[in-house]
Amino acid sequence: MAKDSQRVAEELMEAGLITEEQMGKTLEYAQSLGGSVGQIVMRLGFADEGKVFAFMLKKYRLPTVDLSGMVIPTELVRNVPWELIKKHEVLPFHKDRRTLSLAIADPSDISVIEEIQFQIGMQVELHLAKRSDIIAAAKDYHGEMVKRAEEDKKSLSQGKLRPASHATLQALQTTTEGALVENLRTRSEGKLSTQNLSKGDMREALIPALLKKGVITRSELFDAVCELLVKKEVIDQAEMREILAKQNQA
Q: pLDDT per residue over 156-183, tens digit each?
A: 455 444 455 555 555 555 555 555 555 6
Q: pLDDT per residue over 89-133, tens digit each?
A: 999 999 988 899 999 999 987 778 888 888 888 899 999 999 999
pTM: predicted TM-score of the whole model, two decimal places: 0.58
Q: What is the mean pLDDT of residues 23-43?
A: 89
Q: What is the mean pLDDT of residues 64-86?
A: 88
Q: What is the mean pLDDT of residues 232-250?
A: 68
- Return the pLDDT at 132: 92
- Return the pLDDT at 211: 66
- Return the pLDDT at 86: 86
Q: pLDDT per residue over 198-219, tens digit each?
A: 556 666 666 776 666 666 677 6
Percent of the chain with pLDDT over 90: 30
Q: Select the more confidently predicted residue: 78 or 209.
A: 78
What confidence category does residue 53 fall into, taking pLDDT thresholds of 50, 70 and 90? very high
Residues 6+ apart with CB under 8 A from 22: 13, 41, 44, 46
- Return the pLDDT at 185: 57
Taking 80 as the threshold, does the pLDDT of residue 237 lie above it? no
